[in-house]
Amino acid sequence: MDVENIEHGIEPHDSGVTERLNWLRAGVLGANDGIVSVAAVVVGVASATTANAPILAAGAAAVIGGAISMALGEYVSVASAADSQRALIDKERAELRDTPQAELEELTQLYQDKGLSAQTAAQVAVELTEHDVLRAHLEAELNLDPDEVLSPWHAAIASAIAFLSGAVLPFATAVFLPGELKIPVTFVAVLLALAVTGVLGAKLGGAPVLRPTLRVLIGGAAALVVTFAIGSWLGGGSLSI
């Protein structure tokens, strides 16, 4: 990219950059899920009892179960998308094998529809076909790169790691701090962490920071207040902030 484009803030049209940003946004959302869900569990239990064993057991179950659930959900979702991608690639490969001339005419028409003259569109279609016929058709017809088929295992592992990275903070504060500090410190730590993930998510999405950060903070605070109230009610109100 040249200096002028950099100065004017023009982003590179690079599918790899877009893909990395999508992964980063997914990571931030996964960490946010880990923070809120685990914090809600440990705060709810801590408000019902001062004993550390139930908090440890519930928190560990929330961390492990949440990470597995996130990984499984992401694996299933991405595997389905990858199956669809492979099916489209196989279909296009078969069409190119069986009806190459019709496919060439279709590619030419696609470039004409984008604004090229008939002669230029035909030349572009022929040259791209000679270079890599499958890639040419996949990119023009389906906006699909045959080298970038999604990996469900990568997605599952990344999702689990993101969840765990967020879950560590509320789990640690609830388990290792003294009884009278567990809930207030967890509240503060969680809200600070949510503020960070809210800002990061907004920055990565190119959105103004304030509104999405407030949404994350309000949602997280509401979850903690509700679980604290339920835990206090079930535990007879034996622990308060």
How large a percentage of the chain has pLDDT more than 90?
Answer: 33
How far is the C-alpha of 109 from the C-alpha of 113, rounded, in Å?
Answer: 6
How many percent of the chain have pLDDT more than 70?
Answer: 87
Contacts of 202 (CB under 8 A, 6+ apart): 208, 209, 211, 212, 213
Predicted confidence (pLDDT) per residue in 115-160, tens digit: 888 889 889 888 888 888 888 888 888 888 777 777 888 888 988 9
- Helices within the chain (DSSP H only): 3-7, 15-48, 52-98, 100-113, 118-142, 152-176, 179-205, 210-234
- pLDDT value, residue 145: 77
Minimum mean pLDDT range among 48-52, 169-173, 186-190: 48-52
Tokens standing for 186?
Answer: 């967890």
CA dist 80 → 84, 91, 144, 164 (Å): 6, 17, 16, 24
The pLDDT, as a whole number, for residue 5 is: 42
Which of 92, 200, 101 lies closest to 136, judged by CA?
92
Q: Which of 12-26, 39-53, 129-143, 208-222 has the lowest mean pLDDT?
A: 12-26
Q: What is the DSSP secondary structure assignment for residue 177, as one 8-state letter?
A: S
